[in-house]
Each structure stands twice: as structure tokens, then as C-alpha cells.
Amino acid sequence: EKGGFEHFMLKEIFEQPTSIADCMRGRLDIAQKSIKLGGIEAYINQLICAPKITIVACGTSWLAGVVGEYVIEEFCRIPIKVEYASEFRYRNPIIKPGDIIIAISQSGETADTLAAIELAQAKGATVLSICNVVGSSIARTTQAGIYTHAGPEIGVASTKAFTAQITVLILLALSLAQQRKTIMQASFEELIDELANLPDKVKTMLQQECKIKGLANLFKDATNFLYLGRGYNYPVALEGALKLKELSYIHAEGYPAAEMKHGPIALIDENMPVVFIATQDRTYEKIISNIQEIKARKGKIIAIVTQGDERVKQLVDYVIEVPATHEALMPIISVIPLQLLAYYIAVEKGCNVDQPRNLAKSVTVE
């Protein structure tokens, strides 16, 4: 049932070229250059006119929401707020009838997310969902939704559900942007083509498994890790740190790279491994300065870079190259090496990767 893989998690990481394609199937029409999201058709006009959208979720699904925030704000020019469901539900949030809430959940059973949905509905909001498990409580409770169609995710650590959630959010952003006329047709078409190429690029990325395994061996005894990224790669940094913590029990923190100098830089010495997600996007020059700041303090750097990058390579200790794509789509590719790194460090340490201590696949208690 693990398809020849040692763990469900590794199988699920390797399923991503397929799960991402499944998620786009029937929705992305490459020939027609169009996007159709059947599940939320009845609410599309409300979404197009929405003055703001609130996303509620927990854990990795919350992080997919942060990528969604960046993508929807960029292309649709709609203000987005991403809320931890557990905070939202107890804060007496401002919700008015007709407001739009999008709940994101792999399992569709997370107690805090479900409670946040019920609260919003009681106040008259329209709640849509992005779920993986068909017929789950959240899918049934919400007015409408878009399934991620990633297939069953057994490993406790979310991997293919995360990349599918981001894929759905990008499809949603592009579809709304086209209808709101906040995106140029040429850019829209370029992004459609890039989406179509994603499964192959993820496949190429996965070929670096052995290199990442080697890095895992070098860093398995570290007691701390920092993950730094900017822009679209900032939530990826947070996700990389979360994966490492839950799988290998190594303390890890994710941070927006430029915030580091406001405190965390004090932690840097020759024993601190720092993972930079430094692909070539609008923040590239800025993140190079951040890398130099860490190097000056002797931190050990692993950098995720765009294929062919020479500048970062000269500055850091180790690089992992990822195929180039549009910066808004990069989280789907740049998270893969971080999933593999966390996986292999946990395997090296003898941890139970599919069932880490103290964790459950769906958190049905608050």
C-alpha cells in the first residue's frame, strides 16, 4: 500500500506531480486558456465583488492560506486576511452578513476550523471551503467549495495536500482576476502555461532526492535551524520549519528574511544552519544581502536557488537547484526540497515519520 516506498510520507511527496495534475484536471483548459471552478460557480459573482476575503485554517493549511493571500492580493486586488481558526473563533471577529470566508482544511475535520466556520455562518457570512477529504464535516458544513483532489494523505505531515491547496488558490486567484479585469490577458495566459508545466517541473525537482539525502546526513545532529524567505517564499520558509519540527523534533524557526536583523540574527554562529529560499524573483537582490549578513556571522547556509544561479552559489555552503517558474507558482516547487530535507533528517534520526510523537492526522479537539 506504500507503493514500494518506505513511508507513506515519501510516497505522498513523490505523488505530487500527479496530485497537482489531478487538482487542475477539468478546471484548467490549456487549449481554451480558461479556468473553470464548478464547485463555487453559484458564488462567483459574490467573490468577484467581494470587498475583502477572510481565510481561516490551521497549521500547514494556514500556510497555504498565506500563499493564497499573496496571490489573490497581487492578481485580484482584493484585501485578504488569513486567520488562525483558533484565534478567530475566540476573538469576537468583525463579520457582517454577506462577508466571504474561505476555510482551508485537508481533513475537513479540524475542530477549530469547523468552529470558526460555524461562528461565521451564525453571523451571516458565506463560507466556502478548500478541502481534500470528500464529504468531510467542513465540506458538508460550508455553502460550497473546491476539492483539492490530492487523494488520501496518510502521513501526519501534510505534503501533497499543501501543494494542492496552493494550486486551488492560484486557480481561484486567476479566475477571479480575469473576471475582475485586474490581470492582463497576456499575463493570464503565461500563468496558465506555467501551471500546465508545473507537474513536470515538480518531477524534475524530485530527481534531487539523493543530494538532499546527503545534506540530511550532514545536518542531522543540529539542534536548531532557521528558515528564511521573502515574498512568495516567506510562507514556504515557515512551512519548511514546521515540517522539520514535527518530523525530526529539531527546533526550527521560519522568518521573513529581512526581519532577522530585528532579533533572530543574535542566534547566528557557526553552529546555526540556515535554509534560505532564494529563487530569482522580485526579492532576489534583497535576499542576497540577507545571505551576506548571515555569512558574515559564520552561519552554515543551505540555499534553494533557481536552476543555473551562480551568485548565491558563490556565497553559501550548499545549494539545491529548482526549475524556474513564475514567482507566484514557486512555492509549489520550492517547498519540495524542504519536505524531503525534513523527511530524510527524521529518517536519519530514527523518528517515526508517518506518525510523529504527540501528533494526530486530524486535530478534532480544540
**Active centre residues (catalytic):** 361
Of 94 and 365, the one with the shorter C-beta distance to ligand M6R is: 365
127 binds ligand M6R (CB under 6 A): no
Of 187 and 352, the one with the shorter C-beta distance to ligand M6R is: 352
336 binds ligand M6R (CB under 6 A): no
Say if residue 4 is exposed, middle or buried (CB neighbours under 10 Å; 0-12, 13-18, 19+): exposed
Which single residue brings its beta carbon nearest to ligand M6R? 59
148 binds ligand M6R (CB under 6 A): no
Sheet holding 273-277, edge to edge: 251-256, 224-229, 273-277, 300-306, 318-322
Strand 80-84, strand 34-35: pairing? unpaired
Q: Which set of grid coordinates corresponds to residue 46?
A: 459574490
Residue 227, beta-bridge partner list: 254, 275
From the CB of 248, what's the least distance to ligand M6R, in Å? 13
Triad 297, 302, 306: Cα angle to 5°: 125
CA dist., res. 341 & res. 300, Å (int): 15
Q: Which set of grid coordinates corresponds to residue 160?
A: 501533497
From the CB of 19, what's the least distance to ligand M6R, in Å? 15
Can you tell me which of 19, 54, 86, 107 binds ligand M6R, judged by CB under 6 A?
A: 107
Of 54 and 107, the one with the shorter C-beta distance to ligand M6R is: 107
From the CB of 173, what's the least distance to ligand M6R, in Å? 20
Piece in contact with ligand M6R (CB under 6 A), picked from 56-64, 121-129, 174-182, 183-191? 56-64
User: What angle do helix axes 330-348 and 234-248 make, rounded to 10 degrees?
Assistant: 20
Contact, 98 vs 53, CB < 8 A? no
Question: Total binding residues for ligand M6R by CB under 6 A?
Answer: 15
CA dist., res. 44 & res. 33, Å (int): 18
Could you give the C-alpha distances from 337 to 129, 277, 331, 358, in angstroms and in order? Answer: 28, 10, 11, 25
Of 158 and 280, the one with the shorter C-beta distance to ligand M6R is: 158
Q: Which set of grid coordinates corresponds to residue 148?
A: 483539492
From the CB of 108, what's the least distance to ligand M6R, in Å? 7
Contact, 25 vs 154, CB < 8 A? no
Residue 185: count of CB within 10 angstroms of its CB: 10
363 binds ligand M6R (CB under 6 A): yes
From the CB of 84, what's the least distance to ligand M6R, in Å? 10
113 binds ligand M6R (CB under 6 A): yes
What mask of x and - would describe binding to ligand M6R in positions 222 to 251, judged by CB under 6 A? Answer: ------------------------x-----
Can you tell me which of 16, 19, 54, 105 binds ligand M6R, judged by CB under 6 A?
A: 105
Can you tell me which of 15, 37, 59, 337 binds ligand M6R, judged by CB under 6 A?
A: 59
61 binds ligand M6R (CB under 6 A): yes
Q: Which set of grid coordinates corresponds to residue 92?
A: 469576537
Can you tell me which of 53, 58, 125, 291 binds ligand M6R, judged by CB under 6 A?
A: 58
166 binds ligand M6R (CB under 6 A): no
Can you tell me which of 60, 126, 129, 339 binds ligand M6R, judged by CB under 6 A?
A: 60
From the CB of 35, what's the least distance to ligand M6R, in Å? 23
Say if residue 184 is exposed, middle or buried (CB neighbours under 10 Å; 0-12, 13-18, 19+): exposed
Site residues, ligand M6R (CB under 6 A): 58-61, 105-107, 110, 113, 156-158, 246, 362-363
